[in-house]
Amino acid sequence: MLGQRVNRWLTLQSKANKDKKLALVYYNHPPGRHNIGADNLNVPESLFEILTALQAEGYDTGTLPANSDELLDLLQLNGVNLPEDGTALADMATRVQVVNKQQYQQWFTALPKALQQEMVHGPLGYLHNTLQRAVQLEDKTISQRLMTRVIKNLYHALDGADHPARERVLKLLDQLDAIYANDDVNHIDWHHAAELVDAITKQGVEGIRGWGEAPGYVMVHDGKIVLPGIQFGNVFVGPQPPRGWEINEELLHANLSFPPPHQYMAFYQWLNKAFGADAVIHLGRHSTYEFLPRHRVGMSEEDYPSAILGDLPSIYPYIVDGVGEGIQAKRRGLAVIIDHLTPPLDSTELYDSLLELRQLVESYEAAPFNAEAIRQRAISDIKRVIDELNLKEELIANMSDELDVRGITEFDQIDDELLVHEVGHYLTILQEDFMPLGLHVFGRDWSSDAITTMLRSMSQNKPAGSDWAQLLRASPKAEIQALLAALDGQYVLAGKGNDPIRTPEALPTGRNFYALNGSLVPSRLGYQIGVELAAKARAATVMSTYQAEDSEADAIVLWASDVVRDEGAMIAFGFDMLGVKPMWNSRGIFKGLERLDLANLIDAGPHGEKIPRVRRDTLFTTSGLFRDLYGAQLVWLERAVLMALDASSDLIREQYPALTYALNSALVPLKQPPSVE
């Protein structure tokens, strides 16, 4: 697959623009004529800007509308999902692309068997098919983890289900759970388990039942799957299909357990195999294909993003401050990001507090699934900030429909994944209060007023950079140029992603952002975890007296992958062992080190006894990748060691006068500001 994908990108380099076929996909969540949008992006006007730019570059765009208003009229007529309006769907089916049952069945049967079973019978179809294979593996815990995860998600889905068969399904699920839990895999009654799966599916509980035999029933008219959209020459412009059943669309939007309906699969199969797209562009944050079920990393052919896209090049204009979820688009969606500006924001003191909350949400979302410490710390701090800002009641009101569906009555009952998703959704809506000059239009130059407003916000609590205005002015053009470069199979420059107010280095936009901003390392979350680890380490290796000649240094190995996972917790661990602490500005950016006064600090011994705190000799060793990616952190680590040495310098001079010259020479760099560029 990797080789095929590379060849598709190489084809973009050699194929003439006039012959390239492109798919421009926008979002229609939830379905309906008036729900075309993306996070802080004016989608109709952005689509018009992109289509106009493509036409200027020689792409076959046919006859374009005269302006974005005419384009929006066309989209609302032929480019929206209407799964619950049979009359409107029947009318639309006469004007847009449809896929007949035979054609879809041909594509469907080419999918892995487990995916077919899942789409027809729901999560239990996949579970049953996969367990029969997994129990043959040497590692028996694989099947156990799979069963536990899927069954748990199904119980969770049933918690708030309003369906007459709910109690019966719960009893059947209990029986199925008992069969699968048999320790002796050779005596699992697969036949009876299959009967239970079928019985549960037939109860018709939404989210449990699957989508039935192809072509299903979502966006289907007269046995044909309806694919809304408009074709302008070789460019297809259409909405991404709905993720699932309409009553709980918000829950499904970023759900990693439940399969998409047949229309979803048909849409991408048609783009790739019938329309013959050379590339697909998902416009704005965010799509749902990168959140479809299965593995978070290391995907196989049974992962929906792989089955959906295949080897099709994916290009993804994405808001520059959406790094956490954007990494999902890169990691699971195999997309090349083209980041775009936020709208011009009018920053206030409240905005800084909301930025902290947004950063915590991003930390949770960007953390790998197995980074439990950072995820739990993020959840803890999210709840703390919610309390400090008195947001509980407002959040509960904002997510009342979802809580009713799940049967949740108390804020503390909300699970972590739902809380993070809903807080992020709430912040996106609230952020509009700071947008006096409207939404951003991809590739469109900002007005002077917009630039002035943004510069005023960016320069709060710090002097304005001499090049900020120029970078803001250059960003829209850079966005379009990067998109066109990607469509030519060219390299898109990488760059920091983050809110430009907090991180001006995120400018200019039009870059392929990366996950971790070195200026945020260690983050406040990472520091808290590092301090906790350091306290435990000191308790385990108590030194009531400290004699350099009979003591060994603490050795710390720093890996680049760990920094991404724990936001610099091990760097913070080293700082704390040396008796220094990071300092951050109001926007969470690491700005320097402060030496701790250990005179009044006490450590706890292994038995709870109080022990005076001491600085520990610390030896840092880094991987080559850490050295290459985090050079600034190496500078700060060296400075931390010198600050710790300086704290003991008077004692060293007194007890070892012969070392005075060498000591003074070693401490000279402390008199100069660190060079971290």
97-99 and 554-558 beta bridge pairing: unpaired
CA terminus-to-terminus distance, the chain = 39
Reported confidence tier of residue 436, pLDDT bands at 50, 70, 90: low
Q: How many whole angstroms separate alpha carbon 252 and alpha carbon 402?
A: 11
Percent of the chain with pLDDT over 70: 89
pLDDT value of residue 140: 65
Question: HSE of 647 in the Cβ direction (CA atoms, 13 Å)?
Answer: 19
Residue bearing tokens 């040497």: 138
Q: How many whole angstroms separate alpha carbon 495 and alpha carbon 506?
A: 7
pLDDT value of residue 111: 95
Mean pLDDT, the chain, rounded, equals 85
- In contact, 179 and 193? CB cutoff 8 Å: yes
580-584 and 590-595 beta bridge pairing: antiparallel
- Strands of 224-227's sheet in order across: 97-99, 224-227, 220-221
Rounded mean pLDDT, 195-199: 89
Residues 6 or more apart whose CB falls under 8 angstroms from that of 583 comprise: 590, 591, 592, 593, 594
Query: How wide is the angle at C-alpha 283 spanned by C-alphas 281 and 284, nearest 5°?
Result: 140
- pLDDT tens sequence across 312-339: 999 999 999 887 678 778 888 889 999 9
- In contact, 241 and 249? CB cutoff 8 Å: no
Rounded mean pLDDT, 616-638: 82
- In contact, 437 and 453? CB cutoff 8 Å: yes
Structure-token pair, residue 598: 């250990």
- Between the ranges 232-241, 490-499, 516-525, 545-554, where is the mean pLDDT highest? 232-241
Structure-token pair, residue 611: 């022990």
User: Residue 101 phi/psi, 5° resolution?
Assistant: -60, -40
- Among 61-70, 288-297, 345-354, 616-625, the least confident range: 345-354
Reported confidence tier of residue 472, pLDDT bands at 50, 70, 90: very high
Q: How many whole angstroms separate alpha carbon 671 and alpha carbon 677?
A: 18
pLDDT above 60: residue 545? no
Reported confidence tier of residue 576, pLDDT bands at 50, 70, 90: very high
Question: HSE of 423 in the Cβ direction (CA atoms, 13 Å)?
Answer: 32
Is-cis flag, bond preceding 476, omega within 30?
no
User: Residue 417 phi/psi, 5° resolution?
Assistant: -60, -45
pLDDT value of residue 255: 55
- Tell me which of 270 and 535 has the higher pLDDT: 270
Structure-token pair, residue 523: 């983050």
Q: How many whole angstroms separate alpha carbon 645 and alpha carbon 325?
A: 42
224-227 and 220-221 beta bridge pairing: antiparallel
- Tell me which of 169 and 108 has the higher pLDDT: 108
Rounded mean pLDDT, 359-367: 77
DSSP 464: P
Q: How many whole angstroms separate alpha carbon 12 and alpha carbon 279?
A: 8
49's enclosing H/E stretch is helix 43-56
DSSP string, 246-284: GGGHHHHTT-SSSPPPHHHHHHHHIIIIII--SEEEE-S
> Residue 575 to residues 40, 119, 477, 650: CA-CA distances in angstroms?
39, 51, 42, 21
Reported confidence tier of residue 618, pLDDT bands at 50, 70, 90: confident
- Tell me which of 299 and 434 has the higher pLDDT: 299
Q: How many whole angstroms separate alpha carbon 191 and alpha carbon 170?
A: 20
Q: How many whole angstroms separate alpha carbon 262 and alpha carbon 510?
A: 34
- In contact, 127 and 190? CB cutoff 8 Å: no
User: Residue 25 phi/psi, 5° resolution?
Assistant: -110, 125
Amino acid (one-letter) located at 274 = A
- Between the ranges 99-113, 371-385, 580-594, where is the mean pLDDT highest? 99-113
Smallest Cα–Cα separation from 32: which of 271, 286, 224, 239?
Answer: 239
Rounded mean pLDDT, 437-463: 88
- pLDDT tens sequence across 370-418: 667 778 888 988 998 899 888 888 888 878 777 776 677 788 888 888 8
Residues 6 or more apart whose CB falls under 8 angstroms from that of 675 comprise: 635
pLDDT value of residue 123: 85
pLDDT above 80: residue 540? no
pLDDT value of residue 564: 66
Q: How many whole angstroms separate alpha carbon 454 and alpha carbon 161?
A: 46
- Between the ranges 6-20, 73-87, 243-257, 410-424, where is the mean pLDDT highest? 6-20
- pLDDT tens sequence across 484-527: 999 999 999 999 888 888 778 899 999 999 866 677 789 888 89
> Residue 313 to residues 47, 167, 273: CA-CA distances in angstroms?
19, 46, 14
Smallest Cα–Cα separation from 380: which of 406, 353, 419?
Answer: 419
pLDDT value of residue 550: 47
User: Residue 572 phi/psi, 5° resolution?
Assistant: -65, -35
Q: How many whole angstroms separate alpha carbon 639 and alpha carbon 583?
A: 14
Q: If you count them, how many residues does the chain have?
A: 677
Amino acid (one-letter) located at 669 = P
Reported confidence tier of residue 431, pLDDT bands at 50, 70, 90: low
Smallest Cα–Cα separation from 558: which of 532, 522, 523?
Answer: 522
Q: How many whole angstroms separate alpha carbon 258 and alpha carbon 205?
A: 13
pLDDT value of residue 108: 97
- pLDDT tens sequence across 64-73: 999 999 999 9
Residue 339: beta bridge partners?
A: 318
> Residue 236 to residues 9, 140, 518: CA-CA distances in angstroms?
19, 47, 39
